[in-house]
Amino acid sequence: MAINILEEAILLGRHDGIDDFTAAAERLERAKASSVFVVVSG
């Protein structure tokens, strides 16, 4: 129910979201990779 309410609240107004899903996934993977770099070099 709570998730449905969240989704319906989004639909009440502008909801452009992210068109390029692949690019979004790549950005998240890069963020993970950079955090590993911080750990290794730190």
- Residue 41, interface with another protein (CB under 8 A)? no
Name the minimum Å distance from CB 26 to another protein. 8
**Scanning residues 7 to 36, which ones bind another protein (CB under 8 A)?**
7-10, 12-18, 21-25, 27-29, 31-32, 34-36
Residues in Cβ contact with 18 at an 8 Å cutoff, skipping those fewer than 6 apart: 24
- Residue 42, interface with another protein (CB under 8 A)? no
Q: Are 24 and 18 in contact (CB under 8 A)?
A: yes
Q: Rounded distance, CA 9 to CA 15, Å?
A: 10
- Residue 1, interface with another protein (CB under 8 A)? yes
